[in-house]
Amino acid sequence: MSLGRRIYQIRQAREMTQADLSKKTGIAVPYLSRLENDHIEPSFTTLQKIANALNVSLVDFFGTGQDKGFQEQCPVSLSGQCIMDRVYAQGRKRVKLEAESYSPQQLQLLQLANYLVLFADKKTLELLEVFFLALIGSPSVKKDREWLRKLSLKAQR
Q: Where are the domains of the chain?
A: 3-61, 64-120, 121-157
- Rg for the chain (alpha carbons), in Å? 18
* pLDDT attached to residue 80: 60
Q: Which contacts (CB < 8 Å, 24+ apart) does range 34-38 have? A: 35/4, 35/7, 36/4, 36/5, 36/7, 36/8, 36/11, 37/4, 38/2, 38/3, 38/4, 38/5
Q: Give the alpha-carbon dihedral of 24, 120, 4, 88, to 10 degrees.
A: -150
Q: Could you give the CA distance from residue 3 to residue 72 in angstroms, rounded to a whole number?
A: 20
* pLDDT attached to residue 148: 60
- Residues across the chain: 157
Options 1.10.260.40, 3.40.720.10, 3.40.50.1100, 1.10.1530.10; CATH for 3-61 is 1.10.260.40
Q: Give the alpha-carbon dihedral of 141, 146, 148, 149, to 10 degrees.
A: 140
Whole-angstrom CA distances from 83 to 2, 3, 35, 114, 143 are 16, 17, 25, 11, 33
* pLDDT attached to residue 3: 85
Q: Average pLDDT for consecutive 10-residue bins of the chain (157 residues)?
A: 85 92 96 92 89 86 51 53 57 42 75 80 83 67 59 57
**Chain centre to alpha carbon of residue 134:** 21
* pLDDT attached to residue 66: 45
Model pTM score? 0.46
